[in-house]
Amino acid sequence: MACPYAERQGAAVYCKVLRKRVNPLAYPCLSKKYEKCKVYQEKEKYLQETEPREQAEQVTVQAQRPRQARRIGIRLDGSPARHCRECIYYGRTGVCLLLGVEIKDPNNPPCRAQ
């Protein structure tokens, strides 16, 4: 019988309480002795320690999303480009290197539509 918080991943074992891989020789996850494991006995303590950290990471990720939402072309001096011919991402082949799309009208940049 294995620990209910253990998930086998090849030769290693993933501990759902610690949220990381553990060595099955050091942790009795796959044996009947899993109830004697320090992590299993103190799982509430470990879960309480990791929850605030996860919540803080989620808030950080959510705060970064609006800044990454809009990408526009720029000139060599760092100012926004008005059309593709001014943009540093406009390739000689007529492709926007920033978005990876073919430019049909350089006066109407596709990055302005986003």
pLDDT digit string, tens, across residues 48-100: 665 555 555 555 555 554 444 456 788 888 888 888 888 888 887 888 888 88
Confidence of residue 42 (pLDDT cuts 50, 70, 90): confident
Closest CA to 19 of 32, 28, 9, 11: 9
| Confidence at residue 67, expressed as pLDDT on a 0 to 100 scale | 46
Domain boundaries, the chain: 6-68, 71-114
Query: What single-letter DSSP state applies at residue 112?
Result: G
Closest CA to 3 of 45, 14, 51: 14
pTM here is: 0.37
Which are the contacts of 82, defined by CB distance < 8 A and separation ≥ 6? none
